Structure 1
Amino acid sequence: MSSSRPTTETRAGDDRTTELIRWAAFSCVLVPVVLLWYGTSLAGTAGTAVGLAAVTAVCRLLLRRSERCAARPPGGAHPPRAPHRGGRRRTGTGSRRGGRHSGGSTPVG
């Protein structure tokens, strides 16, 4: 019987990710304040804040997605594929593609 409770390893990874996201959000607030403090224009500071927020949101999305993929059991929802047992072989007209051909292609005549 499998339980739906996360393992300690999963929770530790989740805690680290949450802490990382909190620091990133803190930076999204701190950087514009520092830029304003040092005299950067309001428009430049706003643009920086929006850019940092966008990057933080994308990173958060990717981190959460990688955690979900890592938490999946090996094999996931898709069963493993059967090993490949050779390529398709064409017979008849047009079976050769490129390479050297025996015989010439000039008309006899």
Structure 2
Amino acid sequence: MSGPSTPSEDSATDVVRWAAFSCVLVPVVLLWYGTSLAGATGTALGLAAVTAVCRLLLRQSERGAARIKAGEAGPSPRRRGRHHRTGTGAHRGGRHTGGNTPVG
């Protein structure tokens, strides 16, 4: 990374570092207190998986915040998916009766 980093990036990096540190520290403490090697290894792998997922979500959140800050709020409202049609509620096609009168 080149250039100055923002405080949020620094805090995110600190969080990831502490999480990685705990991935090492917790199994060591568990072994110290008599937990089996398999149990400590399983705990380490579980903590590493949770840390990796949290890191991915944190980075994704940072990219989204940077995009909003830069003025790119995402896809334009006119480019919605198939089920998110624009307009005031009028449906395309189908049967149209004359107002709110009962059909009969």
TM-score interval, smaller chain: 0.7 to 0.9
Match of 2:83 in 1: none
2-side partners of 1:95 and 1:12: how far apart? Answer: 57
Superposition deviation, residue 16 in structure 1: 0.2
- The answer to whether residue 45 in structure 2 is matched with residue 44 in structure 1 is no
Cα deviations across residues 63-103 of structure 1 (Å, max 9, x unaligned)?
01100010003343533439623311545xx557xxxx533
Aligned with residue 84 of structure 1, among 87, 94, 103: 87
SS at match of 2:65: helix
Match of 2:22 in 1: 27
SS at match of 1:88: coil
Q: Looking at both structures, which has the greater relative contact order when contacts are Cα pairs under 8 Å and sequence separation is at least 6?
A: 1
Asked which structure has the greater CA Rg, the reply is 1
Cα deviations across residues 30-56 of structure 1 (Å, max 9, x unaligned)?
000000000001101100000000000
Runs of 4+ in 1 over 3 A off after TM superposition: 74-77, 80-83
What amino acid does structure 1 have at the position aligned with 2:23? C
1-side partners of 2:34 and 2:74: how far apart? Answer: 54
Any unmatched runs of 5+ in structure 1?
104-109
1-side partners of 2:56 and 2:103: how far apart? Answer: 58
SS at match of 2:6: helix
Quote the RMSD (CA, aligned, Å): 2.8
Q: Where do 1:1-109 residues align within 5 Å? A: 11-72=6-67, 73-76=70-73, 78-81=75-78, 84-90=87-93, 95=96, 102-103=103-104
1-side partners of 2:6 and 2:17: how far apart? Answer: 16
1-side partners of 2:62 and 2:92: how far apart? Answer: 43
Any unmatched runs of 5+ in structure 2?
80-85
1-side partners of 2:58 and 2:24: how far apart? Answer: 21
SS at match of 2:51: helix
